With several copies, the nearest count.
Chain A
């Protein structure tokens, strides 16, 4: 019954910067694969999809960037408040040795969980985290403390100056990774897919589309082309699966199911 709605209390909140917070929830998920997501209900407001950014004894962690009405309302939530959870949903990343993890912006959230899980399983992982500026990074101290993690920022306020694609080739050469797992803005993902495939890596991308039901019925999250449901067969897709996606890096559908005109 992981699919049913359960309300749970917020145990702790970490404020990383303006409009950037992580929420630790009291249960209710026993286990999940990194890359899977939950539908988060803010009673009286709305329900939206969020990646699991960590899961352990302490509870379920969600990391959120305020970008609109729902995520801004989430910033007002206090410890002790109830939030509703459905999930975990979807298919996560494969856990395999010698994987290069690349996250952009709030996209680092699922990679935080993936990195931890790989560590638990003693699989070797390298992590590249890219943000616009230092204030956009969740858990900066944590990422800074990781031995195999490289942080890049566009304005140089944290880590190296640049964008993630600037440093990938270097890491692949140094570390000899054979797989690439990435999450973040879709243009970045497309660039990483191209780069990864050029370098002969097995690529997995964590995509986002508008999600309403989370359980494979409403059809809003279906990619154009193969029609694959990101909430069930995704959100993580492999290179092979990505070949069936005709709207990759192009405008997606909105809440009405209509294709947007401009880029997302």
Chain B
């Protein structure tokens, strides 16, 4: 009997599928809804120290086979998020909860991590790669090696026993290099990729950018090849388990990321295109794949495309 369970570092997930950060991730109730649909883990919306309303609308726009978003890291703040985490954990004991976080300074990353760690999430995911808050927060920290190293080390210290993943994008140079910096500073996992670009959409009637933030990150099926490549690159650079995501909308897509080197696979935008049933559908597709190839579990094909 093939099994979908995977070992992600020290964690065990019943399914490799993870709800991506930023998708239905502000309340215990919405996270629980997704958990009930077959995700092995769910990730909260990236959380900062204080409540943030994010950018004015429009913040999320459909584009060709994808989305452009500049939500702007709206979140209820670390303390409110801790309540949601606790509520989720008591409601959904078999689904893992990953708490995503960001900070405006290196120190703030540490503070938020310390706050969230108190609620005992199963993983802390450090968002150093959000591409749509630059006008306010400057370049994403992943673009600055020294800060990336410092954030990784600091969060790791505050996290105690909780494993720490650094979430990277492809927007600021070689992702393999960034992953190496994270690994050297104690990261337990790499999550890749965050949204791409950023990009922009201009309305030709009013002749201005449509997103209130002007630019936003690109996600969805159109970025899948970029995600496959990024994970391939990370896998070659570091020896850490990878949560791969970017454009996954089918079990075929998930398998591409797994064969490139991912252990778990995040799903975000496809929830918009395909609804919440997608998790169960992809799970079924993965089980079919294992059965057809006569495999026990997905670890047998993790990174298989590296030959």
B58 touches A39 (CB 8 A): yes
A219 to B271: give the CA distance in the assembly, Å. 12
Residue A82 is within 8 A (CB to CB) of chain B in the complex:
yes
In terms of DSSP, what is the predominant structure of the interface of chain A? loop
Residue A193 is within 8 A (CB to CB) of chain B in the complex:
no
A258 touches B80 (CB 8 A): yes
Q: Which residue on chain B has the smallest CB distance to residue A48? A: B57
Residue B299 is within 8 A (CB to CB) of chain A in the complex:
no
Known: A84-B210, A253-B27. A228 touches B58 (CB 8 A): no
Q: Hey, which chain B residues are within 8 Å of A48, CB to CB?
A: 57
A26 to B128: give the CA distance in the assembly, Å. 43
As a 0/1 sequence over residues 65 to 90 of chain B, the CB contacts with chain A under 8 angstroms (1 = contact) are 00101010011110010000000000
Q: How far is the CB of B51 from chain A (nearest CB, A)?
A: 4
In terms of DSSP, what is the predominant structure of the interface of chain B? loop
- The residue among B51, B57, B69, B205 with the most chain A CB atoms within 10 A of its own CB is B57
Q: Hey, which chain A residues are within 8 Å of B53, CB to CB?
A: 254-256
Known: A44-B208, A84-B210. A213 touches B75 (CB 8 A): no
- Which of A1-9, A109-117, A165-173 contacts the other chain? A1-9
Residue B225 is within 8 A (CB to CB) of chain A in the complex:
no
B54 touches A5 (CB 8 A): no
Known: A39-B58, A44-B208, A256-B76. A225 touches B29 (CB 8 A): yes
Residue B185 is within 8 A (CB to CB) of chain A in the complex:
no
B206 touches A258 (CB 8 A): no
As a 0/1 sequence over residues 22 to 51 of chain B, the CB contacts with chain A under 8 angstroms (1 = contact) are 111111011111100000000001000001
**Which residues of B from 145 to 189 have beta carbons under 8 Å from A?**
none
A223 touches B29 (CB 8 A): yes
As a 0/1 sequence over residues 62 to 87 of chain A, the CB contacts with chain B under 8 angstroms (1 = contact) are 00000000000000000000101010
| Top-3 shortest CB links A-B | A47-B57, A257-B26, A227-B33
Listed by A's residue number, 12 A-B pairs whose Cβ atoms lie within 8 Å are: A4-B62, A7-B205, A43-B203, A84-B58, A215-B272, A216-B272, A217-B271, A218-B74, A219-B23, A220-B74, A227-B32, A256-B53
- Residues of chain B touching chain A, judged by Cβ–Cβ distance below 8 Å, are 22-27, 29-34, 45, 51-54, 56-63, 67, 69, 71, 74-77, 80, 201, 203, 205-206, 208, 210, 212, 268-269, 271-272, 275
> A39-B58, A214-B60 given. 5 additional CB < 8 A pairs?
A44-B208, A218-B74, A219-B24, A227-B34, A257-B26
